[in-house]
Copies of this chain bind each other. A is one copy, B any other.
Amino acid sequence: MPPTSINFKEQMSEVRRTQILLGAAKVFAKKGFHKATTKEIAKTAGISEGTIYNYFENKRELLVAMIELLALQPLKNIVNTDLSPTELLTAIIQDRYRLVKEQGYLLAPVIAEIFADTELRAYVYQKIIIPASSYLEHYIQANIASGQFRQVDPVLITRAFMGATMLNFTIKITQLDPRYDNITVDTMIEQLVPLFLNGIGGRD
């Protein structure tokens, strides 16, 4: 048999895995991890219950696989360019907002379980938070060194930025507060970028 045949099988397997994962994500998003049943996941993914277990050890592994999927995403649109502080923070906010908007259904069940599952929490911190933060951390570090920014703690400030943006995104996207109805991403950028840049003494 030609080598393409092997590739074909592998590809099919990968496709099926993703199919199951997306089904799971949909149901997790709607019901939460614990109330999501494998029966509904199977139905949503268009396969039978047993098939889930040909691709994943158990239900929890679906969540872990979702974390790995998320871990591949975030950095893409930001990196490898020569941006001014304003441009960088703007780019980060835009990217994260898009991420939360588009992949929030993947994110929400993961975040929920983080608060109940210590092991998962550590895993997410290593796999997602740290990688997603490191670019900004180093950027701040470099600008402190060059005298552009005040002497702040890059780790703490980076997480402050993440916490600040993420909470606002969440409120906006889940429509928790009617006062956010006419707050757009651009509004957030207008408000949060100067907040942080002034805050760390950055001049553009």
Determine if A167 and B159 form an interchain contact, defined as CB atoms under 8 angstroms apart: yes
For the complex, give the distance between the alpha carbons of A199 and B192 in Å: 9
- Residues in A156-204 with C-beta less than 8 Å from chain B: 156-157, 159-168, 171, 174, 176-177, 179-180, 183, 187-188, 191-192, 194-201
A6 contacts chain B at the CB level, 8 A cutoff: no
Determine if A153 and B191 form an interchain contact, defined as CB atoms under 8 angstroms apart: yes
A115 contacts chain B at the CB level, 8 A cutoff: yes
Partner-contacting stretch, out of A10-18, A66-74, A105-113: A105-113
A-B contact pairs, 10 of them (CB 8 A): A34-B34, A108-B116, A112-B116, A121-B176, A125-B171, A153-B183, A156-B191, A159-B171, A163-B165, A163-B166
Given contacts A160-B191, A160-B192, A163-B168, 14 further A-B pairs with CB under 8 A are: A32-B116, A109-B115, A109-B116, A121-B174, A155-B179, A156-B187, A156-B191, A156-B192, A160-B168, A160-B195, A162-B163, A163-B165, A196-B199, A197-B199
Residues of A bordering B, CB below 8 Å: 31-35, 108-109, 111-118, 121-122, 125, 129-130, 152-153, 155-157, 159-168, 171, 174, 176-177, 179-180, 183, 187-188, 191-192, 194-201
